[in-house]
Amino acid sequence: MDFALTEEQRAIRDMARKFALAEVDPIVDEIDEAQRFPIEVMRRAADLGFLGIIFPEEYGGAGLGYLEYVLVVTELSKVDPSVGISIAAHNSLGTNHIYKFGSPEQRERWVKPLATGQKIAAWALTEPGSGSDAAGLRTSARKVDGGWILNGSKAFCTHGTVGEIAVVLAISDPEGRKGRNVSAFVLEKGMPGFRAGKKENKLGIRASDTAELVLEECFVPDSHLLGKPGEGFRQALAVLDGGRISIAALGLGTAIGAYETALAYSKQREQFGQPIAVPRPSAA
């Protein structure tokens, strides 16, 4: 089996590498210290198709696959994993959930502006009381005429304050079987009762926007339900399965970036009259 990259894949990798060095590297310290989400970088990344890598061209995407996606996320993470994770979460979580489980009308309405980078996606599953136990949600969705009323809060949401379109998971049948009583809804920034809460003060990946989302008697129309009621948990697991490769790409890129930074430093840092990169004989 041939694992070599194609000419097109090498070109995409090189394009991502050049973009990271030209657009991200000059501001990496500033955005990290200020914990500032670099929206200008995301807009320029969208011009290269990075915000819709895995989606078909008919929905504004680049029409590429997961290998190309991994190459881009890895190259961005070499310079700043904050940008890498933002590109990854936008593609593989929020946008991908709508693409996989939305109707043609929902895809047209939301995937297109997300894949083209006109809007930023968020994905809200984790809650203060449920992380690994993803089915143990407390956010509720109560059926009313014409839609649903959502109440609750979400934690550690990537793009929680900057996201303009969010997929939110909630319990839609409190008497239903665990895991089969969750539904997924698309919420838009500015909806009454839907707002960002506390922004997290993180130790690392600080330019990636991570925040709480709060829902207080938020009315969501029926047209914003993804799939059928009760299908949300199954949908979420499928979305997570597709997105987990992002973690490997982020880890790989961060490790390579750390290695290359340390290597460059060792070549210019001198001790005892020579760079510390020069091997020294060990004492017997």
Q: What is the pLDDT of residues 78-133, one digit of tens each?
A: 999 999 999 999 999 999 999 999 999 999 999 999 999 999 999 999 999 887 67
Those residues whose C-beta lies under 8 Å from the C-beta of residue 133, and which sit 6 or more positions away, are none
| DSSP assigned state of 127 | B
Q: Which CATH number fits domain 7-119+236-266: 1.10.540.10, 3.40.50.2300, 3.65.10.10, 1.10.730.10?
A: 1.10.540.10
Question: The domain 121-228: what is its CATH number?
Answer: 2.40.110.10
Count CB-CB contacts under 10 A for residue 110: 26
Q: Which two structure tokens, joined as six digits, stand for 4?
A: 């070599």
pLDDT band at 179 (very low <50, low <70, confident <90, very high): confident
Tell me the two tokens of residue 65. Answer: 């696959």
Helices (H), the chain: 7-19, 28-34, 39-47, 66-79, 81-89, 96-101, 104-106, 112-115, 232-268
For 151-180, give one letter per residue: b (16+ CB within 10 A) or e: bbbbbbbbbbbbbbbbbbbbbbeeeeeeee
Domain boundaries, the chain: 7-119+236-266, 121-228
What pTM value is reported for the model?
0.92
Read off the pLDDT of residues 125-176 as tens digits, 9 standing for 90 and up. 999 988 767 778 999 999 999 999 999 999 999 999 999 999 999 999 998 8
